[in-house]
Amino acid sequence: MTEVPATSSDQPGTAGRVNLLDFDRQGLRDFFAQLGEKPYRAEQVMKWIYHHLESDFANMTDVGKALRAKLEASCHVGPPKTLVDKAAADGTHKWLLGMDGRNAVEAVYIPEPTRGTLCVSSQIGCALNCQFCSTGAQGFNRNLATAEIIGQMWVAAKHLGNVTHQNRRITNVVMMGMGEPLANFDNVVKAMSLMRDDLGFGLASKRVTLSTAGMVPMIDKLSDVIDVSLAVSLHAANDELRTELVPLNKRYPLAELTAACQRWIARKPRTSITFEYTLMKGVNDQPEHAKQLIRFMRRLPTCKVNLIPFNPFPGTRFERSDAETIRAFQTQLLNAGILTMLRRTRGDDIDAACGQLAGQVNDRTRRSAGIRQRVEQGVTHAS
């Protein structure tokens, strides 16, 4: 683990200046128009920010000196400050990124032979209180601004030496970090448009994935405004159990979620939805649970299942299913013709695996206090 000096957002003199990471392409063009500048100047600066990962206007050499001075006086490029930088034995990388005085979020990079995936957070904590997720146990503080979301990718790209359209260390982005992305809709959509924009990070639509616990109205809205991939955190295929694990299911039960997914597929017939299913010992890993999942998936025949072995964290009452149970569950789905993948656990030695992201949350819900009390009393499991 390495302690890292604060980045540009923590430098003195930025207070009151506009953070250019808050703008998508059209927003940046509009802002430059307000400055009395031609729109193409905004696109020049955008390339410097995202292709060259440059935060110092003085180094933007094809931008006129007068404009550089104007930008220096009124703007800054302010990614989040890096508080902690951790690398796992398997090459997974995690950054703790400061967002304000007492809050920080985590972003994770997962390298594989043919791709590199960055897991990005959308909120400080999470209000949904999913029972098996470390982020949910931390409580909730607020939504992240666009600059704080795309800034996570900017920091990771800078650290990894990513060069847009040339040396892609980050080939995929998943909005699967801390928070429910669809609860922060506008800021998340702007950030994803920067991930996709050729003047931004230039990723194809299939390489940017948003994961939701099932905010049905926002799934429909998302399909209207941006072309990205969709993942749904399912974890149970009957309403009673899913409501226990994912309380949002009480508001949007499985029938409504299924209908929203069918509408998504109808609008984007060449796409698929991935359903994430975290396997927990004795909770949702039995043959009858697999049968329920098979029935659910038959309503969405072009979609697939991603099985995730549960990753423990301090304060949880859940345990990971054993390897034999996991294999049997997957085999049952495969034999039924359901495309089923098993996610390999990565980065668990630095608490960077799926469901383990916690960050630092000044909790407004007081949820985290109860978790801490139970840990201290020794009544729940710790990793």
Residue positions in the annotated binding site for [4Fe-4S] cluster?
A: 126, 130, 133
Query: Which residue positions form the known binding site for S-adenosyl-L-methionine?
Result: 179-180, 211, 233-235, 311
Q: 94, exposed or middle or buried, with CB in 10 Å at 0-12, 13-18, 19+?
A: buried
Q: 126, exposed or middle or buried, with CB in 10 Å at 0-12, 13-18, 19+?
A: buried
Is 354 an annotated catalytic residue?
Answer: yes
User: Can you read off the two tokens belonging to residue 117?
Assistant: 């995936």
What is the distance between the terminal CA atoms of the chain, rounded to a whole angstrom?
19
- Give the residues across from 316 on adjacent strands: 381
Selecting among 37, 106, 148, 276, the annotated active-site residue is 106
Selecting among 75, 261, 303, 354, the annotated active-site residue is 354
Query: Which residue positions form the known binding site?
Result: 126, 130, 133, 179-180, 211, 233-235, 311
Residue 353 has a CB neighbour count (10 Å cut-off) of 27
Residue 104 backbone phi and psi in degrees, to 5:
-155, 150
The residues carrying an active-site annotation are: 106, 354
